[in-house]
Chain A
Amino acid sequence: MRAARRSSNSSGASHSRAWLKQQAGDVRPWYRGAVGCGLLAGVATLVQMGALAWLVDRVVTDQAALEDVAVGVVAIVAAIIVRALAQWGQEVCGQECGLRVKQQVRSRLLARLQQLGPVRLASRHSAGLASQLVDQVESLEGYYSRFLPQMVLAAAIPLIYLVVVFWLNWLAAIWLLIAAPLIPLFMALIGMGAQRLNEAQFQAVTRLSGHFLDRVRGIATLQLFGLAERSVEEVSEVAHDYRRRSLKTLRVAFLSSAVLEFFAAVSVAVIAIYIGFGLLGYIQYGPAEQLDLFSGLFILLLAPEFFQPLRTLSQHYHDRASALGAAEGLVALLDDEVENPDAAATTGAVDDERSRSMDSDAVELAPGAVRLVDVELRHAGRERILGPLALDVDAGEVVALIGPSGSGKSSLLQLIAGFIAPSAGAVHVQREPAIAWLDQRPLIIQGSLAENLRLVAPTARDEELRHALNQAGLGRWLSSTPAELDTPLGERGVGLSGGEAQRLALARVFLSPATLVLLDEPTAALDPETERAVIAGLTQLAASGRTLIIATHHPAIMTMASRLYAIEAGRLSPIERLNSPGELHS
């Protein structure tokens, strides 16, 4: 996989570039605004410098009175104001580009995650995905707000100045023109330098963080072995080692920008000396004789401005590099299915299923009932995971699924929930308004207890929340917390134990309008006491007339069930029991 990715590296990079460009499509007005403002600032600078040169020339050469040159002063002030405002406009428009692209990419990523569904996301690291959604998207901003507009400005503004200088004195323009064909070369140089710099730094920082994280993670062990002190030295020693290594790269990488600096500085020097000698009449050829203080000073003032946009671009080059780096990961996430042909079977499963469940209305299935007809589930090119199997569950039944891990219990529940679509056969379930889902790791969102419950019933009143908590066996816990329903949960709030979290999930089931409840090993991670409480809750759920389909190993839950099925190698077989299900409900 890694080798394959490396071989397609260049096409991957161009793909990321194309994707980055494509994202700019929807923010074009703001982008144009940024470029327009940048051009305006460039022209205002031109006017300002021209007026300044004119003013000096008039006063020094013609001994003009200040009143005579007032128009020049006014022009300078006006140009300064326009320049400052245009710069402000460029920044604001550019930032708007960046912000909008970020929001747009984020919403696209979120939609993508939902489309992939819980089954396909299970193999991914949630913290990694979150960092893609937040941090990597964040690193796109500079590319749109600074780099892209500056790309145009770095080409256009020097050209404008060159034309003006040419008009003033073609020989001076030649000096700049010598640099002009070099501009693409500069850009390439800057690009190579900045890229190498970025790669080197990125590599060093990644390795360094890797080492640092490794040692921090193991601090407890280091303490046990009495090695903590020594490790402190080691951590900074490793950092110094990386410093020495990355400096070697930096020495070369900084050279490219030094070349640009050198050209900019030397051009100013050459032009100043040429103009000075020309004014003194030492230069007899070319247009030197037409030079006067106005044109000389004007050209001198424009020379540094000629190179400024390029220098700015080189400063923003790292924005491009980090955006490209982020884009690679984001593109991979957004068109995952290209990489993985299996995905075709599961992508968009939920939507497919919704239409299928419309069909099921024709079957006239009662809410809470489930009917599977000749269902098969297989991944493309691989063995069958499930089926063919058939299952009929009436509303209000409790069905337990038993089987070793990997036998397909979870897949069956996921099929019923609609997270994946069957490869053959039909799943008839009424999925509106909701299906209740409960697995080993209930979702606790950061927010109050009430917010956590209202996720599944947005309009529920406080009394209903309390009632549901009581039914789930959290009544006592609730009355022991001072903030009651406003108790903050999640990372910064009160930590719930595994059992409490599971009972909170149970309260959600009681609260939701769902009549079908799917449970994937609900008691697997619990201690015996909590286990009893959760099972009591489940019994209540069943008594309330809801349909329960439970994948479980737990004997007590099996006894509770009205029907038992064993799953082995994807096949479903009913298990006969000696005692009749009727007396088990008690």
Chain B
Amino acid sequence: MNALMALRPWIGVLSERRGRLLLGALLMLATLFSALGLLSLSGWFITATAVAALSASGYLDVFTPGGGIRLFAVSRTASRYLERLYNHDTILRLLADLRGRVFAGLVALDARTLSRVRASQWLNRMTADIDTLDNLYLRLLAPPLVALVSVVAFALFAFVFLPAAGIVLLAILLPLGVFATAGCAWWGWHASHRRVERQERLRVRAIEQVEGLAELTSYRALAAHRELWVREEQGLVEDQRRLGRRTAAGNLVVTLGIQLATLAVLLLGLTALREGQMSGPAMVMLALGTLAVSEGLGNLPMAFTQLGATVRAAERLNAQAELKTPLSGTPVEDEPSSSSGAAPALVYRDVSVMHGERAVFSGLDLAIDPGQRIGIIGASGIGKSTLAQLAVRAFDPQGGCVEFNHQAIAGLDPDSLRARIGYLTQRSELFHDTLAANLRMGDPDASDTELWDVLERVELKEWAETLPEGLATWVGEQGRQLSGGQARRIALARVMLRNSPLVILDEPLSGLDADTTAAVKVMLDVWLAGRTVLLLGHDRLALPACDHCWRLMPGEQGSELV
């Protein structure tokens, strides 16, 4: 039961649409009742006509039941069509809600956790988990409810004609419903709960096989690794077989239960008929109705043996959302004497950062005066980007503090802080959107003229003018293929549009050819004047001119400035 708590936040998301969910379930119910009405009324009608033919009068009102039968035939078709359409609409709405919700959770994460998010595998896994939850309502919530309501309603209906039949119906079908839901869920729990993980491990083995093929082949270790793969696959297949067999057994029990319930109602009816308590048509109607109403139970074992997998998906997404609480703090206070446009000071005081077990910095000091331009040189992975991330409060250091304009960053609201910093990250992150939209991330209010202006400064104006759609050209992953240098300069232009007093540029010139590098260097030199600047690069030549240059070197305890 505890395990099901993982679904709670997601059921909460669903319940925001409870009106739609209710209507969808009612449409399902209407479909089921139409099928029920069609079959039981037809049975009643045929038996009634046979009885009437035998009796002396031979009269029967055929028009009312005939009309009823036609009505049910049409309503079954119509309600089924509407139900499918309406519920698919609901599912797509839920998909939008769920994605929004997950995204909102991710947005609150810090940079370190996010760097893990980059792995496309992790992302794909998360998307698959969301897809699993999309179906929560249609597979696991609505069907048992509809089955329950219809069984109880029909049992009450039967009770009116023959109390014993109503009681027998409840006595057989309710436990059967519990078995088909809770029973099957419990039965398939372990196998389905770990299935996702097994599949994941198999995927890891496949990646190892592909990426390590050179080593495995030359060491003649293919067979040894293949054995590891086979072991995982065997485990996965065994689980699937177990789940499949249990689903089949669940279906067997449900079929037996439904058919035996029908037989029991029929036999009770026959006895009542012989004792004169009930008419023949009513008896046939109840028996056929039992058959139809039980159809609602048919799909439950299949859905519920897989419950474990759904809960597992929810657990993983929950773990994601709980990873970190968002950083908070007070807004940045501008010094009374200056406006927000004045260059601030940036000071690192005795800063220590641990990356897992490894110390990135311990006791690092660095001061950048207002308007000063400092360069940091070092090999990749040495911690240059960490310096930048500390400045934008992507995360807080384990020791020491970073100060922005003499205010400790750890106490500042990240959004308010970041609004005053233009940070060009090492990767040029462009979105699948128009060129203009990508640029306007820097300044939402920028006019087209301003966009062309900044493109000219990063030497992209001529190129952009050759684009048939100009600023409306789609760029990014699925958009127009940009060269690394072009993407770099668009990212740089975006940062320039921010026009912030503190600028951090991480490898600003990477991917540019020699001529462009020279031109952009000159341009940056002018643009950076009067701002506080932190420049990060692997080499002094890769950076615009700076007032002072430090080198980050590996030391005893993390990297040191030399």
Give B419's nearest chain A residue, CB to CB.
Answer: A226
Taking the complex as formed, is B56 at the interface, i.e. its CB lies under 8 A from any CB of chain A? no
A527 to B538, CA, bound (A): 12
Taking the complex as formed, is A130 at the interface, i.e. its CB lies under 8 A from any CB of chain B? yes
Taking the complex as formed, is B123 at the interface, i.e. its CB lies under 8 A from any CB of chain A? yes
User: Are B58 and A281 closer than 8 Å at their CB atoms?
Assistant: yes
Taking the complex as formed, is B211 at the interface, i.e. its CB lies under 8 A from any CB of chain A? yes
Known: A85-B252, A225-B442, A236-B99. A446 touches B205 (CB 8 A): yes
From residue A482, how far is it (CB to closest CB) to chain B in Å? 12
Taking the complex as formed, is B174 at the interface, i.e. its CB lies under 8 A from any CB of chain A? no
CB-defined contacts of A231 to chain B, threshold 8 Å = 103, 107
User: Are B107 and A66 closer than 8 Å at their CB atoms?
Assistant: no
CB-defined contacts of B263 to chain A, threshold 8 Å = 73, 76-77, 80
CB-defined contacts of B255 to chain A, threshold 8 Å = 80, 83-84, 87
From residue A187, how far is it (CB to closest CB) to chain B in Å? 19
CB-defined contacts of A433 to chain B, threshold 8 Å = 220
Give B494's nearest chain A residue, CB to CB.
Answer: A225
A228 to B47, CA, bound (A): 68
User: Are B47 and A56 closer than 8 Å at their CB atoms?
Assistant: yes
From residue B41, how far is it (CB to closest CB) to chain A in Å? 8
From residue A253, how far is it (CB to closest CB) to chain B in Å? 9
A269 to B53, CA, bound (A): 20
CB-defined contacts of A350 to chain B, threshold 8 Å = 217
CB-defined contacts of B45 to chain A, threshold 8 Å = 272-273, 276
User: Which of A345-373 touch B at CB < 8 Å?
Assistant: 350
Taking the complex as formed, is B394 at the interface, i.e. its CB lies under 8 A from any CB of chain A? yes
Taking the complex as formed, is B535 at the interface, i.e. its CB lies under 8 A from any CB of chain A? no
User: Are A91 and B248 closer than 8 Å at their CB atoms?
Assistant: yes
User: Are B54 and A61 closer than 8 Å at their CB atoms?
Assistant: yes
From residue B170, how far is it (CB to closest CB) to chain A in Å? 20
Name A265's contact: one of B74, B103, B237 (CB within 8 Å): B74
A518 to B103, CA, bound (A): 47
Taking the complex as formed, is A258 at the interface, i.e. its CB lies under 8 A from any CB of chain B? yes
A231 to B431, CA, bound (A): 12
CB-defined contacts of A99 to chain B, threshold 8 Å = 237, 240-241, 244
CB-defined contacts of A557 to chain B, threshold 8 Å = none
CB-defined contacts of B58 to chain A, threshold 8 Å = 280-281
0 or 1 for each of A117-149: is its CB under 8 Å from B? (1 = yes): 110010010110111011100100000010000
CB-defined contacts of A578 to chain B, threshold 8 Å = none
User: Are A435 and B218 closer than 8 Å at their CB atoms?
Assistant: yes
Known: A114-B213, A236-B100. A279 touches B49 (CB 8 A): yes
Taking the complex as formed, is B471 at the interface, i.e. its CB lies under 8 A from any CB of chain A? no
CB-defined contacts of B65 to chain A, threshold 8 Å = 276
Taking the complex as formed, is B376 at the interface, i.e. its CB lies under 8 A from any CB of chain A? no
0 or 1 for each of A426-465: is its CB under 8 Å from B? (1 = yes): 0000011111111101110111000000111010000000
0 or 1 for each of A162-199: is its CB under 8 Å from B? (1 = yes): 00000000000000000000000000000000000000
CB-defined contacts of A81 to chain B, threshold 8 Å = 256
Taking the complex as formed, is B145 at the interface, i.e. its CB lies under 8 A from any CB of chain A? no
A270 to B119, CA, bound (A): 60
A567 to B215, CA, bound (A): 24
Binds B, one of A24-32, A205-213, A558-566: A205-213
A210 to B224, CA, bound (A): 37
User: Are B214 and A439 closer than 8 Å at their CB atoms?
Assistant: yes
Tell me the interface secondary structure of chain A in the complex.
helix
User: Are B106 and A445 closer than 8 Å at their CB atoms?
Assistant: no
User: Are A110 and B76 closer than 8 Å at their CB atoms?
Assistant: no
Give B75's nearest chain A residue, CB to CB.
Answer: A265
User: Are A212 and B99 closer than 8 Å at their CB atoms?
Assistant: yes
User: Are A490 and B70 closer than 8 Å at their CB atoms?
Assistant: no
CB-defined contacts of B218 to chain A, threshold 8 Å = 417-419, 431, 434-437, 514, 518
Taking the complex as formed, is A18 at the interface, i.e. its CB lies under 8 A from any CB of chain B? no
A362 to B208, CA, bound (A): 36
Give B220's nearest chain A residue, CB to CB.
Answer: A434
From residue B63, how far is it (CB to closest CB) to chain A in Å? 10
Name A227's contact: one of B123, B358, B441 (CB within 8 Å): B441
Taking the complex as formed, is A380 at the interface, i.e. its CB lies under 8 A from any CB of chain B? no
User: Are B109 and A232 closer than 8 Å at their CB atoms?
Assistant: no
User: Are B49 and A276 closer than 8 Å at their CB atoms?
Assistant: yes
CB-defined contacts of B111 to chain A, threshold 8 Å = 220, 223
CB-defined contacts of B362 to chain A, threshold 8 Å = none
CB-defined contacts of B96 to chain A, threshold 8 Å = 236, 239-240, 243
Known: A61-B50, A419-B214, A446-B201. A254 touches B81 (CB 8 A): yes
Known: A95-B244, A219-B106, A223-B414. A443 touches B211 (CB 8 A): yes
CB-defined contacts of A205 to chain B, threshold 8 Å = 131
Tell me the interface secondary structure of chain B in the complex.
helix
Name A269's contact: one of B72, B85, B120 (CB within 8 Å): B72
Name A92's contact: one of B70, B248, B418 (CB within 8 Å): B248
The total of chain B residues at the interface (CB under 8 A) is 138
Known: A276-B49, A527-B381. A445 touches B284 (CB 8 A): no
User: Are B271 and A293 closer than 8 Å at their CB atoms?
Assistant: no
Taking the complex as formed, is A297 at the interface, i.e. its CB lies under 8 A from any CB of chain B? yes
Name A235's contact: one of B77, B99, B127, B554 (CB within 8 Å): B99
0 or 1 for each of A517-560: is its CB under 8 Å from B? (1 = yes): 01000000001110000000000000000000000000000000
User: Are B266 and A55 closer than 8 Å at their CB atoms?
Assistant: yes
Known: A220-B429, A258-B80. A66 touches B271 (CB 8 A): yes
From residue B47, how far is it (CB to closest CB) to chain A in Å? 6
CB-defined contacts of A417 to chain B, threshold 8 Å = 214, 217-218
User: Are A91 and B50 closer than 8 Å at their CB atoms?
Assistant: no
CB-defined contacts of B248 to chain A, threshold 8 Å = 87-88, 91-92, 95
User: Are B217 and A118 closer than 8 Å at their CB atoms?
Assistant: yes
Name B206's contact: one of A55, A114, A129 (CB within 8 Å): A129
From residue A121, how far is it (CB to closest CB) to chain B in Å? 6
A514 to B220, CA, bound (A): 10
Taking the complex as formed, is A71 at the interface, i.e. its CB lies under 8 A from any CB of chain B? no
Give A447's nearest chain B residue, CB to CB.
Answer: B228
User: Are A527 and B429 closer than 8 Å at their CB atoms?
Assistant: no
Known: A88-B251, A110-B209, A435-B218. A296 touches B46 (CB 8 A): yes
User: Which of B182-204 touch A at CB < 8 Å?
Assistant: 199, 201-204
Taking the complex as formed, is B561 at the interface, i.e. its CB lies under 8 A from any CB of chain A? no
A167 to B204, CA, bound (A): 60
Name A239's contact: one of B99, B270, B284, B423 (CB within 8 Å): B99
Binds B, one of A5-13, A244-252, A384-392, A394-402: A244-252
CB-defined contacts of A418 to chain B, threshold 8 Å = 217-218
A240 to B94, CA, bound (A): 10
CB-defined contacts of B4 to chain A, threshold 8 Å = none
CB-defined contacts of B88 to chain A, threshold 8 Å = 247, 250, 254
Give B358's nearest chain A residue, CB to CB.
Answer: A497
Known: A66-B270, A228-B107. A80 touches B259 (CB 8 A): yes
Give A293's nearest chain B residue, CB to CB.
Answer: B50
A211 to B127, CA, bound (A): 12
0 or 1 for each of B79-115: is its CB under 8 Å from A? (1 = yes): 0110011001100110111011001101101010011
Give A212's nearest chain B residue, CB to CB.
Answer: B99
CB-defined contacts of A258 to chain B, threshold 8 Å = 77, 80-81
CB-defined contacts of B209 to chain A, threshold 8 Å = 110, 113
A61 to B274, CA, bound (A): 12
A218 to B430, CA, bound (A): 8
CB-defined contacts of B89 to chain A, threshold 8 Å = 243, 247
A240 to B98, CA, bound (A): 12
Name 11 extra pairs, CB < 8 A, besides A56-B47, A455-B216: A63-B274, A84-B252, A114-B222, A127-B121, A222-B441, A224-B423, A231-B107, A272-B41, A281-B58, A434-B220, A529-B554
Interchain residue pairs with CB less than 8 A apart (26): A59-B270, A66-B270, A83-B255, A114-B222, A117-B213, A117-B217, A121-B210, A127-B207, A130-B207, A210-B432, A217-B118, A217-B429, A221-B425, A222-B441, A223-B414, A224-B421, A224-B425, A239-B92, A240-B96, A254-B85, A261-B77, A261-B80, A265-B76, A275-B46, A300-B42, A508-B219
Top 5 nearest A-B pairs (CB, nearest first) are: A443-B212, A239-B96, A236-B100, A272-B42, A243-B92
